[in-house]
Amino acid sequence: MGKKRIAVQTKEELLKEREKIEAKVKREIKMAPQKVKEGKICISSTYNNTIITLTDLAGNVLGWTSAGNIGFKGTKKATPFAASKVAEAICQVAQKLGIEKVAILVKGIGSGRESAIRSIAARGLEITSIKDITPIPHNGCRPPKVRRV
């Protein structure tokens, strides 16, 4: 077995990675008629992807991004790291729009739920509430008839 090497990123590489994320964030953001101070962030986390949508309080979409949109492919889209990068990108959109307070709605059972919330909190947005809106069947569908042989 060879010697283990730890990859350390230089400041230039970190800046290039940050610019890459900023480039993926849509340049043209729909501006609301008046300055929006509050909004909702909807996190949809599945086994395959993490999609985050930024809306105003009425539910009109101001911006969205996903792990696939940023550049992750395949199974890497469903990782907590990809979800945190998606959350950072949506926080940049929110800060460009001047949004300070957000309510977070989480849907789905993927692995990126908590890491997305943590990275939104770390980026300086004030979180007013966190709500889980994952659909849960109360009784489900009618089961099929018993098979007769």
pLDDT in tens, 75-134: 999 999 999 999 999 999 999 999 999 999 999 999 999 999 999 999 999 999 999 999
pLDDT value at residue 10: 81
The dihedrals phi and psi of 97, each to the nearest 5 degrees, come to -80, -10
Conformation bin of residue 17: beta by default, left when phi > 0, alpha when psi is -120 to 50? alpha
pLDDT value at residue 21: 74
Between CA 36 and CA 31 the distance in angstroms is 9
> Is residue 140 situated within a structural domain?
no
| Residue 109: CATH number of its domain | 3.30.420.80
β-sheet bridge partners, residue 45:
50
> Is residue 104 situated within a structural domain?
yes
Determine which of 45-49, 128-132, 140-144 has the lowest per-residue pLDDT on average: 140-144
> Is residue 2 situated within a structural domain?
no
Domain that holds residue 98: 40-132
pLDDT value at residue 31: 47
> Is residue 96 situated within a structural domain?
yes
> Is residue 127 situated within a structural domain?
yes
Residue (of 54, 70, 66) closest to 18 by Cα position: 70
Query: Across residues 47-75, what is the average pLDDT?
Result: 94
> Is residue 21 situated within a structural domain?
no
Domain count, the chain: 1
Query: Across residues 28-43, what is the average pLDDT?
Result: 72
> Is residue 84 situated within a structural domain?
yes
> Is residue 27 situated within a structural domain?
no
